[in-house]
Structure 1
């Protein structure tokens, strides 16, 4: 009977929510559209966790349900009295469909093109030989090496771009591991873990950090160096715990991996085009916005160059993980619906933070941010919570002795970046899940543990920062 629950729950529970009277919900002012978004959210959450259907199919279903239930071109039986306050604001169907071509999708495409070209011209194998050589041949130390390299890149460039690049380097290592070796999961998980954690180290490492800086002004101002002074130790300590956790949870059966890679870097004209394009793309990503382009625009450079030069042909295009693009677009669509319908704001504002003790507020805000970031993008979570937390921190005098607004904003920011329990939680997770070496349950187990541990660690480090500054 338990086996059937995974098929029944994702259908029955959302249907119950969909047809319940609004008066049953404990939220004042909840609209019909928000009720439908809640039903879609429950379907998505249960389907992603229980996996009655492939997770990419769940993402496509989310977009379809949004078009049918909450768009301006929805089914005639669901249109209701659009424009009425009790009905809510519907979404544009073009906005929902545009999630298939969101800038993040373009960033993924750029990463896929780099990975395909790197494999085709042996760049990934040669990079693996050069970068992993200092870490020896024991799997656990090779995992540590991959994590350190990934985290360092993630501090200064897009986490998604870093993950795409590092997964291409990982390919020759995976080829040497036996099919049943648990360490295959550890190798595949270590890169998104390090990318997600590493971005916390600098103010430019991940969008939630940049959003937080907007609210850390005046007496709460934190400089680039001050951020790194507590951000980098946080990354190092949490990375150490993450490394220990995954090598214990997924121990290697092989004692050593001999990356005895023969040969040199290829020296054909097309190979040089790959090398130059690869280096140029990474340098432009590392430079941030100094050149005027964002990471999404830069990602289109390798796509264009490789297609125009024939380095990637129509047969190579079949290797692109389209299921990952659908998976990510569904996550974007769900976050968009939660935001545009006002459901996310309604849920957040319904929590009476002001009535609780400062300790409960800090812990509750961090856990709320962590929970939301697992189902919405880190950036959307930060955008939604920061203005609320900034106002709350300024108004609660009981928080003054604990760092006030600064402490609250930093904890919420760190928690937003630690939301990585599901394949749709972050683009690095989705990319790693596409390798086929990680089950959703394994990712959830590691993501929840590291997320909660990261929140506890952030409390300690923010407390130390407050003591040092005062």
Structure 2
């Protein structure tokens, strides 16, 4: 019997795929309409994404097969959805991020900021959170976490050993940063962050507990701030790009309402508030409420703080002066951000509105155009000051330096599976529109007009925050956003009033190690239990939903004009005329 169950478990993914295909068949066979066919595809993909019986990207390819066979869309129409402008923005933005990571510019930024912040316990947590959040705005959350966790644990190890060195009269050795190991034992000595409030020496057990708590707090600070920082820019995390692409696909006449500048104006203050509240919560949870102790005011702590500071300073010095490639990447990165901000800012004429406008006065270039342009420049410029050097593999022959960005580097680090996943989401949204499923859903959701919009927003944010703990945040937004767009049209509510909270809430994956890669990385380093992450993440999820609710009902109203029902979202004019009260002040 045991062998039978083991065999079933070994073949569970094959069985899940087969069972889902068969058990869902009555829907399209009994209800032979395009709406039912599209619903079958969406439900099948949703369950496959939740169970991960197939790779996420493979599941995202199903519309290419099912939509033409079911008569919903032509194959040529479906395939176009897999390489839209939003996908181009994803590729271009990630190429620039790969260049930043390849030339270690992100590590120089991280160590430089930590030197400024200092190593007092509370400030050390804040420093790591600020650096991680800033980097995750531009490069992947996973890469940011993977870089910051070893740095954080190296600093903790030096804090832990500094007291013993001081007591024995030894100098602290220079410390070469190494990757931490998952089998590393929990440190046994004081980390220097806990200041004794009395003259009595601490026991070894107390020191061990304080260091263990600080280790846990620092690990969670890094992974949480990586997820929080990604919401600040439209390219910071994939759900943001999913929202932009879905809005442009479902509402083609929206006038590019979600661009880099408008998103940044909405999401950056949200990120800052959530980051600071997270810092306070994690500080209280793992360092206690004695803020005098947390900020390192006490006797006997200066030596340990200096030792930890020396670790960061040594690592920064080992990087050496900025190379030509680093300087070039820095200049191009700053240029990219400036061009993104000034292309079509909305509150003043941008260069895209004026120099590159079409007959209607709309910008002919997009954020993707800018990202690809900067990426192409990186493929052209050399990584060293122009000049010839001898090829070490072929003595006597001269060799030009490699470009700042090479295709091998891009190909090795580019997550092509996410590109396909994005395309699958856009294909689902277009299929829902073509089949009439969106309109059908909208009609069924009209009773929601009797619920206050602000309450609807909170409920949806909580639902998405719970759902994203169990499945991919990209899959979550891909499934929810088209439904929310239909709901907003049905009740004459600004679509972004419910779509923006959904996109942000999908990044609130704080409770489980499997919820998001940054959580898995810090969990693999040891020192954390699932209960520790769940305890810290539960309240943080609540805080995140409240902050999102605050932002969507305050400064976001003026940025996106959320107090009106836009003309580009009209699908049922008579319904709007019957319910004029829903067209103004949705969040008030």
Q: Secondary structure at the match of 2:351?
A: coil
**Matched-pair contact (CA < 8 Å) for 1:197–1:235:** yes
Give 1:333 deviation, angstroms.
0.6
Q: Secondary structure at the match of 2:412?
A: coil
**Matched-pair contact (CA < 8 Å) for 1:420–1:447:** no
Are residues 422 and 105 of structure 1, via their aligned partners in 2, closer, same or farther at CA, if it must alter by over 3 Å? farther
User: 1:270-293, CA deviations, whole angstroms, 9 ceiling, x for partnerless residues?
Assistant: 454333323322332343533325
CA distance in 1, matches of 2:447, 2:321: 61
**Matched-pair contact (CA < 8 Å) for 1:11–1:43:** yes
Query: Is 1:4–2:94 an aligned residue pair?
Result: no
User: 1:346-391, CA deviations, whole angstroms, 9 ceiling, x for partnerless residues?
Assistant: 4454335348554865554555676699455869966763574366
Match of 1:420 among 507, 522, 545: 507
**Matched-pair contact (CA < 8 Å) for 2:132–2:145:** no
Query: Is 1:20–2:3 an aligned residue pair?
Result: no
TM-score by length of 1: 0.62
CA distance in 1, matches of 2:443, 2:48: 23
Query: Is 1:196–2:202 an aligned residue pair?
Result: no
**Matched-pair contact (CA < 8 Å) for 2:128–2:221:** no
Paired residue total = 400
Match of 1:124 among 81, 84, 106: 106
CA distance in 2, matches of 1:365, 1:263: 48
Give 1:326 deviation, angstroms.
0.7
Specify the alignment match of 2:201 in structure 1: none
Match of 1:90 among 73, 76, 83: 73
Specify the alignment match of 2:367 in structure 1: 295
Specify the alignment match of 1:202 in structure 2: none
**Matched-pair contact (CA < 8 Å) for 2:325–2:404:** yes
Query: Is 1:144–2:126 an aligned residue pair?
Result: yes
User: Over aligned residue pairs, what C-alpha RMSD do you find?
Assistant: 5.4
More helix, by proportion = 1
Specify the alignment match of 2:559 in structure 1: none
Match of 1:325 among 413, 416, 427: 416
Are residues 116 and 184 of structure 1, via their aligned partners in 2, closer, same or farther at CA, if it must alter by over 3 Å? farther
CA distance in 2, matches of 1:118, 1:136: 24
Match of 2:428 among 337, 353, 363: 337
**Matched-pair contact (CA < 8 Å) for 2:149–2:219:** no
CA distance in 2, matches of 1:195, 1:185: 16
Give 1:305 deviation, angstroms.
2.4
Give 1:147 deviation, angstroms.
4.2
Query: Is 1:311–2:404 an aligned residue pair?
Result: yes
Give 1:262 deviation, angstroms.
0.5
**Matched-pair contact (CA < 8 Å) for 2:60–2:421:** yes
CA distance in 2, matches of 1:325, 1:316: 13
User: 1:131-172, CA deviations, whole angstroms, 9 ceiling, x for partnerless residues?
Assistant: 232322368645533544676799xxxx55686996798488
Specify the alignment match of 1:35 in structure 2: 40
Q: Secondary structure at the match of 2:425?
A: helix
TM-score by length of 2: 0.52
Matches within 5 A, 1:178-189: 178-180=180-182, 183=218, 186-189=221-224
Matches within 5 A, 1:331-370: 331-342=422-433, 343=437, 346-347=440-441, 349-354=443-448, 357-358=451-452, 361=456, 363-367=458-462
CA distance in 2, matches of 1:327, 1:434: 19
Matches within 5 A, 1:165-180: 170=148, 173=151, 178-180=180-182
Match of 1:285 among 340, 354, 357: 340
Q: Secondary structure at the match of 1:262?
A: helix
Give 1:452 deviation, angstroms.
4.7
Give 1:194 deviation, angstroms.
2.2
Specify the alignment match of 1:454 in structure 2: 544
Specify the alignment match of 2:275 in structure 1: 239
Are residues 284 and 361 of structure 1, via their aligned partners in 2, closer, same or farther at CA, if it must alter by over 3 Å? closer
**Matched-pair contact (CA < 8 Å) for 2:501–2:549:** no
User: 1:429-459, CA deviations, whole angstroms, 9 ceiling, x for partnerless residues?
Assistant: 98x65996678x98x9688865554334455
**Matched-pair contact (CA < 8 Å) for 1:125–1:172:** no
Q: Which has the larger radius of gyration?
A: 2
**Matched-pair contact (CA < 8 Å) for 2:89–2:367:** yes
Q: Secondary structure at the match of 1:193?
A: helix
CA distance in 2, matches of 1:316, 1:29: 44
**Matched-pair contact (CA < 8 Å) for 2:141–2:518:** no
Are residues 108 and 184 of structure 1, via their aligned partners in 2, closer, same or farther at CA, if it must alter by over 3 Å? farther
User: 1:75-96, CA deviations, whole angstroms, 9 ceiling, x for partnerless residues?
Assistant: xxxx36x3xxxxxx13535633
Which shows bigger deviation, 169-178 or 8-17? 169-178
**Matched-pair contact (CA < 8 Å) for 1:103–1:296:** yes
Give 1:296 deviation, angstroms.
1.7
Gaps of 5+ in 2: 153-176, 183-214, 235-239, 252-260, 288-303, 345-349, 353-364, 383-402, 556-562, 564-584
Are residues 146 and 195 of structure 1, via their aligned partners in 2, closer, same or farther at CA, if it must alter by over 3 Å? farther
Specify the alignment match of 2:56 in structure 1: 59
CA distance in 2, matches of 1:43, 1:421: 22
Are residues 271 and 369 of structure 1, via their aligned partners in 2, closer, same or farther at CA, if it must alter by over 3 Å? closer
Which shows bigger deviation, 445-454 or 108-117? 445-454
**Matched-pair contact (CA < 8 Å) for 1:132–1:145:** yes
